[in-house]
């Protein structure tokens, strides 16, 4: 009796479970499209019509140069560079307030005794202006304001403005040199220690050039930092600029070569090359950067070598500047993170150190927060 009851319960359970499974399977089938439609969907997904595959077989010589095709659906129009420093002036004034305010406070007292001049000197030194330029500025100001030690604050301000301007060099040529020889593209090599904002700067420079209607190709020759090439490619894609890259850990010089080759073959205006910035040993750096430049110049002249320096690193930044300038002919400086320091005097110090002009300054983390440097705007923001 008990056995019969047990058998009936088991049989009932089997029927209920089987029915449930059948129902589930049936539902699953009902939601899938017929096989013919399924094939179409699969085809569509694989083809990616909005990102056509490059037809490498059409051009076998270029088949092994990986060029990331820019996504064309979300291309941005970058901000024109001309008005950027004016837009970022507030940010500059805020972060540099210490220097300008400090100087004006001393000069505004009206009486300039020895202690006041020392205070002025300290303020300049604290803002990383550097010893020699500080002494020069103080000596010049003293000569100009000698009249009995008593000065009119407005007159003192004008004199300070002119002396600061003279130190920064209002007539230095700060244009980016991007015109190549004989119809070839200009080649800009961007160097600097990792972490200074080098890759970000290359991406931002691409935007500057695109805003000026120049066609650009990027070379991701920083093959040592795993994310650098991806980072660069993303910057490029946003403004429709292709990136030539190589295998991770590959030869940076060969990526530079490929990028310039692409630039020449496809008639680009400018090739921007990011480089690795490891400072293990000076000779290692020298070998690497020297080789990148040499190999590139087999095809086209390097028109500009930009050194990226993090403005927040003070003396350390100056040491880096010295090492790089011994390794490669630096023709321009990009000072990044000027929004993050009250030591704007580094603009003066680093120009003095290298004898080349600051051409761009980074003033924030926004994509267009890289501004062409202008001496007058800078000094006016300092003394605002
Ligand atoms: P790399 O290693 O030299 O290539 O450095 P990255 O380009 O990866 O930049 C390092 C960090 O610095 C990133 O978080 C950037 O957003 C940041 N950065 C770059 N330029 C500026 C700048 O002008 N201001 C600020 N606040 N951050 C910056």
pLDDT tens digits along 331-352: 999 999 999 887 889 999 999 9
| Ligand 1 atom 16, closest CA | 365
Mutate to test the pocket of ligand 1, among 206, 359, 365, 370 (most ligand atoms within 8 A of CB): 365
pLDDT of residue 26 exceeding 60: no
Which residue puts its alpha carbon closest to atom 13 of ligand 1?
197
pLDDT at residue 42 in the model: 30
Q: 149 or 200, which is more confident?
A: 200
Residue 160 pLDDT: 93
CA of 289 to the centre of ligand 1 (A): 21
Mean pLDDT of 188-199: 94
> What is the Cα gyration radius of the chain?
31
366 lines ligand 1 (CB under 6 A): no
Mean per-residue pLDDT, 121-138:
94
Model pLDDT for residues 252-305, shown as the tens digit of each residue = 999 999 999 999 999 999 999 999 887 656 677 777 899 999 999 999 999 999
Distance from residue 76's CA to the centre of ligand 1 (Å): 21
Assess whether pLDDT exceeds 60 at residue 24: no
Strand 243-244, strand 67-68: pairing: antiparallel
Quote the pLDDT of residue 367.
96
CB of 200 shorter than 6 A to ligand 1:
yes
Q: Give the Å distance between the CA of 197 and the centre of ligand 1.
A: 3
Strands 370-372 and 358-362: antiparallel
Beta bridge partners of 284: none
Structure tokens of 16?
A: 């209920």
Mean pLDDT of 192-215: 96
Q: Is the pLDDT of residue 170 over 50?
A: yes
Q: What pLDDT shows up at residue 281?
A: 66
Average of pLDDT values for 155-170?
93
Q: Supply 129's token pair.
A: 């202006």
Are 114 and 336 in contact by the 8 Å Cβ rule? The answer is no
Does residue 72 carry a pLDDT above 80?
A: no
What would the two tokens of residue 178 be?
């991007």
Tell the residue nearest (CA) to atom 10 of ligand 1: 197
Indicate the top mutation candidate among 92, 196, 200, 219 to test ligand 1's pocket, ranked by most ligand atoms within 8 A of CB: 200
- For the ranges 79-88, 168-177, 281-290, which has the lowest average pLDDT? 281-290
The CA distance from 168 to 378, in Å, is: 9
* pLDDT at 62 > cutoff 90: no
Measured CA to CA, the distance from residue 334 to residue 311 in angstroms comes to 9
The Cα 299–Cα 257 span in angstroms is 8
- Tell whether ligand 1 has an atom less than 6 A from the beta carbon of residue 204: no
CA distances to 10, 11, 16, 95, 335 from 24, in Å: 21, 20, 13, 65, 64
216-221 and 186-191 beta bridge pairing: unpaired
296: nearest Cα among 190, 176, 177: 190
- For residues 121 and 135, what is the distance between their CA atoms, to the nearest angstrom? 7
Residue 384 pLDDT grade (very low, low, confident, very high; cuts 50, 70, 90): confident
For ligand 1, say whether the CB of 224 is within 6 Å of any of its atoms.
Answer: no
Cα angle vertex 80, ends 381, 184, to 5°? 120
Q: What number of residues does the chain have?
A: 384
Q: Is the CB of 368 under 6 A from ligand 1?
A: no
| Closest Cα to atom 12 of ligand 1 | 197
The pLDDT > 90 percentage for the chain reads 57
Q: Which two tokens stand for residue 235?
A: 């910057």
Please name the residue whose Cα sits nearest to atom 22 of ligand 1. Answer: 337
Mean pLDDT of the chain: 82
* CA–CA distance, 96 with 103 (Å, rounded to integer): 11
* C-beta of 263 in contact with ligand 1 (< 6 A): no
Q: Whose CA is nearest to atom 6 of ligand 1?
A: 197
Phi/psi region, residue 294 (left: phi>0; alpha: psi -120 to 50; beta: rest), is alpha
Using a 6 Å cutoff on CB, does residue 199 contact ligand 1? yes
pLDDT on residue 14: 45
User: Which residue reads 């023709």 in tokens?
Assistant: 331
Determine the distance separating the centroid of ligand 1 and the alpha carbon of 195, expressed in angstroms: 7
Cβ of 113 below 6 Å from ligand 1? no
Residue 4: band (very low, low, confident or very high) from pLDDT cuts 50, 70, 90: low
Three-state DSSP class for residue 217 = strand
Residue-wise pLDDT for 103-115, tens only, equals 999 988 888 899 9
């Amino acid at each position: 009796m008990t056995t019969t009851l047990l058998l009936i319960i088991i049989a009932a359970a089997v029927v209920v479970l089987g029915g449930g499974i059948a129902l589930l399977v049936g539902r699953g089938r009902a939601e899938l499209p017929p096989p013919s439609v399924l094939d179409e969907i699969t085809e569509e997904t694989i083809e990616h019509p909005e990102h056509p595959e490059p037809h490498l077989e059409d051009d076998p010589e270029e088949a092994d140069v990986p060029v990331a095709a820019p996504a064309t659906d979300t291309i941005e129009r970058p901000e024109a560079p001309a008005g950027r420093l004016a837009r970022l002036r507030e940010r500059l004034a805020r972060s540099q307030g210490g220097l300008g305010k400090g100087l004006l406070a001393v000069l505004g007292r009206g009486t300039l005794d020895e202690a006041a001049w020392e205070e002025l000197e300290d303020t300049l030194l604290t803002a990383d202006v550097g010893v020699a330029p500080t002494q020069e500025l103080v000596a010049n100001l003293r000569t100009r304001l000698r009249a009995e030690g008593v000065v009119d604050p407005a007159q003192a301000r004008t004199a300070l403005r002119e002396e600061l301007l003279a130190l920064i060099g209002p007539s230095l040529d700060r244009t980016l040199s991007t015109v190549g020889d004989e119809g070839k593209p200009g080649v800009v090599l961007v160097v600097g220690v990792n972490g200074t904002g080098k890759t970000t700067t290359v991406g931002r420079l691409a935007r500057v050039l695109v805003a000026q209607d120049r066609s650009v190709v990027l070379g991701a020759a920083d093959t040592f930092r795993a994310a650098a090439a991806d980072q660069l490619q993303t910057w490029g894609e946003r403004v429709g600029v292709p990136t030539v890259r190589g295998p991770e850990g590959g030869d940076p010089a060969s990526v530079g070569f490929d990028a310039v080759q692409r630039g020449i073959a496809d008639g680009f205006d400018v090739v921007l090359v990011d480089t690795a910035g490891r400072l293990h040993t000076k000779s290692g750096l020298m070998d690497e950067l020297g080789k990148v430049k040499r190999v590139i110049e087999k095809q086209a002249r390097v028109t500009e070598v930009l050194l990226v320096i993090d403005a927040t690193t003070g003396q350390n930044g100056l040491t880096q500047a010295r090492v790089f300038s011994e390794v490669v002919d630096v023709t321009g400086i990009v000072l990044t993170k000027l929004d993050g320091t009250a030591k704007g005097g580094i603009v003066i110090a680093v120009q003095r150190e290298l004898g080349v002009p600051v051409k761009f300054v980074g003033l924030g983390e926004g994509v267009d927060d890289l501004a062409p440097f202008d001496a007058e705007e800078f000094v006016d923001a300092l003394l605002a």
